[in-house]
Amino acid sequence: MKFSLEWLKYYLDTETSAAEIADTLNAIGLEVEGVEDPAERLAGFRVAEVLTAEKHPDADKLQVLTVDTGEGDPLQVVCGAPNARAGMKGVLGLPGAVVPANGMELRKSAIRGVESNGMMCSVRELELGDEHDGIIELPGDAPVGESFADYSDSSPIFDVAITPNRPDCMGVMGIARDLAAAGIGTFKPVEVPAIEGEGACPVEVRIEDSEGCPAFHARVIRGVTDGASPEWMQKRLIDAGQRPISALVDCTNYLMLACGRPAHVYDLAKLSGPVVARRANDGETVEALKGKTYTLDDSMTVIADDEGVHDIGGIMGGEHSSVSDGTTDVLLEIAYFEPEAIGVTGRKLGLATDARTRFERGVDPEFLDDGLALLTDLIVKSCGGEPSEAVRVGETDTEWQVLGFDPDLTRTLGGIDIAEDEQRRILEALDFRVGTNKRAWDVWVPPRRHDIDNLPDLVEEVIRIHGLDKVESVALPRADGVARPTAIAEQKLERKVRRAAAARGLHEAVTWSFLPTDVAERFAEDSTQLWSLANPISEDMKTMRPSLLPGLLMAVQRNLDRGASALRLFELGRRYGRGKNGASDERLTLGAVLAGDKTPRGWATGKAQGFDAYDAKAEAMALLAAAGAPVDNLMVMGEAGGQWHPGQSGTLRLGPKNVLARFGMLHPRLTDSFDIDRPVAAVEIYLDALPKGRKSDFARPAYTPPALQAVTRDFAFLFDADKPASDLLRAVKGADKKHIVDAQIFDDFRGAGVPEGKRSLAIEVTLQPGEKSFTEDELKAMSDAITAAAAKQGGELRA
């Protein structure tokens, strides 16, 4: 939000400098993003008088001016403006000055062979408006030679970021109130004129959607003349970044920026019948002021008449009923719209306006009558006309919330002692009403302060105005001796897995926890279990993610589009859904994606090689091992889900039902939906499904290496080709858990000598003796046990 120091002083009696005001705004929680001084941009421009104006000898549309700058001899300036003439006063840019509109530095030059010492400037060139048909023409009493910045009373402009919880500061008046409470001058509240009006309002106003629009105040003004708004108003609007349009429109914008109260003006001649606040009909359309047509639905509040919709309630007016040069009679609208309804409508239509920003955060429900009176006064003074009596339909909740406040809370909650008199002063300066109780004060909260719900909020108000920098930094007490570990088991698990993933060359990503609903549904086993927000920031962030893969795939798509050739990303976070009784359920998860080139092309390697399902499985096994999962006991099974490529994906399970991870290639249809044109391997590990480790003593037993050398034996088994080799390997490892310390497949052969439908799996088994070496009988017994275990899985020892 932008505003000038001159405008601020309309509501704040102060002589404080702009720099000190900016520091104070930052200190009280209203962040200043920048302070711009137009006087700096207008350096080198001064008031000048044209003494003579003669036709350029070599150009029909140029004139050669003699200009008095108030210092020394007159200067010769070549000018192409049609309104340049002898005797007028304007603005001269001297050599060395920089034109604000285009950044051009003025220099002494020759134009068509005639020397020119600067430039007479237009309104647009100095960024004071849009007019550019001629140069600026100043009044006859303008002092020649004075700096134009001083003459135009240029004022520093503040750009303040207002947080969503402070809609009361979405107007200059609200900011002035906060500054006055902080000791920067005296607050000057707006003077609301008493406007009775002549005769009843000739337009019937009704509310049919009291949930979306609880209150609607209006009046008619007849006989207005729409033209340019007053110069002082245009200047303030321009300083605020608004383009002056016409007096009627400028008055509504001025009220919004000054008091945080959006309003609307209709051309009465373009309305037909009663004006009604109602729900739109499904498929109903409206052409908005920007010329774009919007299709509405029955969840949206609109202002309409017998002919149709004229206003998207609280967001944007319609083109059909907008005012124009020929407007003579107008209807003023000051309504209250429910913030949540405004937010939903704005997101659905993709409309972001100044009015929506204020209504969505919550405007002052008490400011309906005052807002209508102020708007009426502005229009009558700027455009003339005779106002009617006001019509008031509906009502808002204007009850002041009462909190029992103990001033000692600033010490116990805020950590700072503030005198009770000072606390009372601060609260009253912020427009709270404070009772006279000696201990627990009754504090009445104005309805515009939607951010004040409880006592800690009042403590915050007192401390931020008193000065957060005055809160002393106090170290927390620390017990003597060695501090006990504070990380819980889940935090330790996260650290181990995160480090393991980074050590394997994966890059950590952090993505949004919210997704578009249609994307979330692709990754949900049951869409009814999705957890959606009732009032999301946007429709693209409405549903909480049921999986980490969508966010990672979006990251893959962005990086591939920007030329990345290989991506190895992982994210450690939580997936969300509905638990028992519909409550939110969140579970710790690790997701990883591999996309692009696994190995780049080269003279030794040939073509670039992509990632495959085995790469995904290797990552899953390694990360599960780092997490402490019993990887030797894992079962590889199919049924990874519809998001995965059939035949190129699987699951890792402890038992048939406990799924620890899914891995493999993602389905091409899924990657296509994310605009990814390359195969993507992925892993999703459900860390919440890991078995809980047994508690052990703090001190681990010392590692004792085996005294005897291990023995290896090779076995070859005929095994069904369509069965997972891991089933056979697991059976072999479990044949003698005491002595078999490792087993690995080193050959998978299919061909001559191997029956159809079978394959030959060669397994190297490592046997570790204990206190004495194995005897031949012991080795034979273990071999027989291995053969028997393999036979139970369908493995036949090859001769």
Confidence category of residue 698, pLDDT binned at 50, 70, 90: low
- The C-alpha atoms of residue 87 and residue 50 are separated, in whole angstroms, by 5
226-271 pLDDT, tens digit per residue, is 999 998 999 899 889 898 999 999 999 999 999 999 999 999 999 9
Q: What is the CATH number of domain 711-797?
A: 3.30.70.380
Task: List C-alpha distances in Å: 138 to 47, 48, 88.
Answer: 8, 9, 8
For the domain made up of 40-151, give the CATH fold: OB fold (Dihydrolipoamide Acetyltransferase, E2P) (2.40.50)
Nearest alpha-carbon partner for 709 in 753, 741, 678, 686: 741
Confidence category of residue 451, pLDDT binned at 50, 70, 90: very high
Q: What is the CATH number of domain 401-469?
A: 3.30.56.10
> Which CATH number among 3.60.130.10, 1.10.10.10, 3.30.420.40, 3.30.930.10 corresponds to the domain 489-689?
3.30.930.10
Domain limits, the chain: 2-37+156-187, 40-151, 205-394, 401-469, 489-689, 711-797
pLDDT of residue 709: 93
- The C-alpha atoms of residue 539 and residue 548 are separated, in whole angstroms, by 19
**266 close to 274: Cβ distance less than 8 angstroms:** no
The answer on pLDDT for 496 being more than 80 is yes
Supply the mean pLDDT for the chain. 91
- The C-alpha atoms of residue 756 and residue 613 are separated, in whole angstroms, by 26
Nearest alpha-carbon partner for 726 in 709, 704, 748, 700: 748
Q: What is the CATH number of domain 2-37+156-187?
A: 3.30.56.10
Known binding-site residue numbers for Mg(2+): 451, 457, 460-461
Q: What share of the chain is helix, strand, coil (3-state, %, to 5)?
A: 30, 30, 45
C-alpha angle with apex 703: 701 to 709, nearest 5 degrees? Answer: 140
The pLDDT of 401-405, averaged and rounded, is: 93
pLDDT of residue 696: 55
The pLDDT of 284-312, averaged and rounded, is: 92
Do domains 205-394 and 489-689 share one topology? The answer is: no
The answer on pLDDT for 697 being more than 60 is no
Confidence category of residue 695, pLDDT binned at 50, 70, 90: low
212-225 pLDDT, tens digit per residue, is 999 999 999 999 99
309-323 pLDDT, tens digit per residue, is 999 999 999 998 999
Query: Which residues 6+ apart lie within 8 Å of 218 measured at CB?
Result: 201, 203, 205, 275, 331, 332, 333, 334, 372, 390, 391
pTM exceeds 0.85 for this model: no
Ranges of beta strands (E only) in 167-263 are: 186-187, 205-207, 215-222
Task: List C-alpha distances in Å: 75 to 93, 109, 115, 569.
Answer: 11, 13, 10, 67
Angle between helices 247-259 and 172-181 (to 10 degrees): 30
pLDDT of residue 468: 92
Nearest alpha-carbon partner for 567 in 598, 589, 590: 598
The pLDDT of 586-597, averaged and rounded, is: 94
CATH architecture type of domain 205-394: 3-Layer(bba) Sandwich (3.50)
Strand 507-508 versus strand 566-578 pairing type: parallel
The answer on pLDDT for 700 being more than 70 is no
pLDDT of residue 335: 96
The pLDDT of 697-722, averaged and rounded, is: 85
Known binding-site residue numbers: 451, 457, 460-461
